[in-house]
Structure 1
């Protein structure tokens, strides 16, 4: 096993503080109380449970962050999909930020925290290895399902209009590096360091020859503070999930440089992960949760449900935003701004939850976990020898076997249950390729990296 202990939580937090983000990262670490929307009509009818499918417990507390990745958890709760399979006491609890979610899963629901929930990757791995926990205590986690693909973007403040800031940043490279040389570096924000939304903006910069660790400043800001921070000019760009990038455009304080669906089509986004001790104690309840999530993901992908979905998510207890801010990107597409053509193909470039042209969205491919670990090595977030032992680590954390069992019990067609734990070669907008059979070749092909 890799010497993960070298990369302690103390070092991790120091990195965040050095970026000027420590106070924001740790704000609200006690979380906040659950606040849910009123029950909509037409909930799912319960199934008949057998001794083999009756959950060991009906109760679990799952955390979420108010971005579209959380939709399967919220919809499964609100539409009765959890209750359908016997999980009648699921609490879906809004977290103040990713630091709060991390702290709350450390203590568990018995002590007022959470048992699991929505996570950016590779947070379940970092928590399992004690890299971002108090005193480096290892809290084993299991990755159980992917919640969605896409639904993220990179928004830019209006003061940078007309500078050529788009998907391909090469034309704006001199402008962005020039800001650093002038003493006013471009401030790019993400919601938590060393995970998804940090990776998206880093990849985007690096593809144009801009070093995210040298040529710009990377900050950590909770998603809900996106609009306020861009209005006050404290950040120039932001990488996060809907509805926040889209709201920046509708509030006329910024434009969209790129969608993550353009950077990496049908990329893995966020995941359901739960403490391993809870899953080991409650395997049938875990599969009941997964069945509820699977039902919710199928419901979310149906066009006729998008309007109701937007209404549910927009409620004060969940996202607390106008319905239109969610409904338009779910049903119509994205206004890009800065002279860019709007993106209207939501079937290919919008958020998806159950299926996409590459196959299953919900199934947690181990090859995707490997990309996140490889990208962590790229930026020096994990030691170089991580890849040597990556398979053993992924096999320990990724429980795709439970997803498959749950899918079969739920009657999912065999064709919709992946037969391989690898989705194969992944292709990015700049021509780079990641072959999970040879992650080192991917690293070797990258011009800007720490590894």
Structure 2
């Protein structure tokens, strides 16, 4: 059971965030070339045969969006014959979903940076208006890793970390008194929701029964911690560092500790747009790939942080994004600062860009675990319909990528999580059955 927050002060912060979103309207705010200090690459001959030069692509202002931003700022979309790609800033994942459902013909979007499970939910009609099925394609992964779970200063003494059982006694005590602890994520059934649920359940805490689960836009997470409206959250950056810089809490874990090089955001398009513009789609993916390679060069990371911090993109101070992008992780409590950490966000290395079907299977299996899609869902059929890794491979071929840069299969194989649990994509049912806390 998911709970509602009743206290008026708590309602105010959450309602204020929602009202701000409505005030912005579904179309978000359109952005063009930022005029940042980054010099553009000299344009090569534009790819011929594109059915259009235009596409409206949504993004959220966080570090995961860096490849899209770099592709725009460095004119890589133009290099591949797509000079009129428009990046459209979105205030939340819910607005992103709605704008994809509207489509560009109605002032919405053709494609977007999305939470990896979103295209599946949209294709199945589980999160769309009137549950209307909207066929979607995943054409690339934007990044791996780089997220985290943070808690407020009230839990400094608990030294919360990968082991969520450290707060189990408090969870139980508060629940008995009717004061449920409150944890936030940014979209039901999305990456942060699923990882937060997994972390709590691994510590013996039922995320459906023992705590309150809230959907809060990323920009509203730190303000809600400040007024004790929520106890913790799972999200990407810059919000963890902002929490620490404002001395309001600390990071219990970065999600590469949870699951090394786990899949994160994806680039997804409406299927009807891709079907009408297959060459244009491939050109966008090629531009994205070149941007991802640029983003993962260590010498470019600081410059990337400076670009993404611009008001046109993430609109945050450089200090709130640069450290974790360059490998320095300050957890904000008594845990030592990690220098040259391997637990950073990746955009290209270790096949970060490739949309493994096995990763999409984990997302679907976890959504089954919590009753957010039916357990009898034909996952192979759905994944084969939504995941267009073939477009990624076609783009890779035209970019003359080496064999080492292109995965041999659509599965990354058995995945191991921080608690020792393994997910074998060849047998997801065994994985689901092995989990002690679940709704399914």
TM bucket by the smaller chain?
over 0.9
Change (3 A) 1:405 1:17: farther
What is the rounded CA distance, in whole Å, between the counterparts of 1:254 and 1:239 in structure 2?
Answer: 13
Report the counterpart of residue 382 of structure 1 in structure 2: 373
Report the counterpart of residue 85 of structure 2 in structure 1: 90
- 8 Å CA contact 2:93, 2:186 repeated in 1: yes
Unaligned runs of 5+ in 2: none
What is the rounded CA distance, in whole Å, between the counterparts of 2:15 and 2:100 in structure 1?
Answer: 19
* Correspondence 1:144-163 to 2 at 5 A: 144-163=139-158
- 8 Å CA contact 2:2, 2:208 repeated in 1: no
1:269 aligns to 2:230 (yes or no): no
What is the rounded CA distance, in whole Å, between the counterparts of 1:15 and 1:426 in structure 2?
Answer: 29
Shift of 1:366: 0.4
* Correspondence 1:120-135 to 2 at 5 A: 120-135=115-130
Task: Please give the root-mean-square deviation of Cα atoms over the aligned residues, in Å.
Answer: 1.9
Q: How many residues align?
A: 430
Report the counterpart of residue 44 of structure 1 in structure 2: 41
Q: After superposition, what is the alpha-carbon deviation per residue over 1:25-53, rounded to whole angstroms, capped at 9, x for unaligned? A: 68436142213522444212222246xx4
What is the rounded CA distance, in whole Å, between the counterparts of 1:345 and 1:97 in structure 2?
Answer: 32
Match of 1:433 among 391, 401, 422: 422
What is the rounded CA distance, in whole Å, between the counterparts of 1:345 and 1:300 in structure 2?
Answer: 17
Report the counterpart of residue 352 of structure 1 in structure 2: 346
Shift of 1:22: 8.5
Report the counterpart of residue 7 of structure 1 in structure 2: none
Report the counterpart of residue 391 of structure 2 in structure 1: 402
What is the rounded CA distance, in whole Å, between the counterparts of 1:194 and 1:292 in structure 2?
Answer: 29
Shift of 1:129: 1.5
Instruction: Indicate the SS of the match to 1:106.
Output: helix
1:448 aligns to 2:437 (yes or no): yes
Shift of 1:114: 0.8
Report the counterpart of residue 28 of structure 2 in structure 1: 32
Higher alpha-carbon deviation: 193-202 or 165-174:
165-174
Instruction: Indicate the SS of the match to 1:384.
Output: coil
Change (3 A) 1:269 1:90: same
Report the counterpart of residue 369 of structure 1 in structure 2: 360
What is the rounded CA distance, in whole Å, between the counterparts of 1:101 and 1:243 in structure 2?
Answer: 19
Shift of 1:247: 1.3
Q: After superposition, what is the alpha-carbon deviation per residue over 1:238-280, rounded to whole angstroms, capped at 9, x for unaligned? A: 1100111121111111100111111111101110000001101
Shift of 1:62: 0.5
Q: After superposition, what is the alpha-carbon deviation per residue over 1:138-184, rounded to whole angstroms, capped at 9, x for unaligned? A: 11110000100111001111111111311112233112222222332
Higher alpha-carbon deviation: 209-218 or 167-176:
167-176
Q: How high is the TM-score relative to the length of structure 2? A: 0.94
Shift of 1:415: 1.5
Report the counterpart of residue 198 of structure 1 in structure 2: 193
Match of 1:103 among 82, 88, 98: 98
Unaligned runs of 5+ in 1: 1-13
* Correspondence 1:409-424 to 2 at 5 A: 409-424=398-413
Instruction: Indicate the SS of the match to 1:34.
Output: strand
Higher alpha-carbon deviation: 185-194 or 326-335:
326-335
Q: After superposition, what is the alpha-carbon deviation per residue over 1:108-137, rounded to whole angstroms, capped at 9, x for unaligned? A: 112111111111121001111221111222
- 8 Å CA contact 2:46, 2:79 repeated in 1: no
Instruction: Indicate the SS of the match to 1:278.
Output: helix
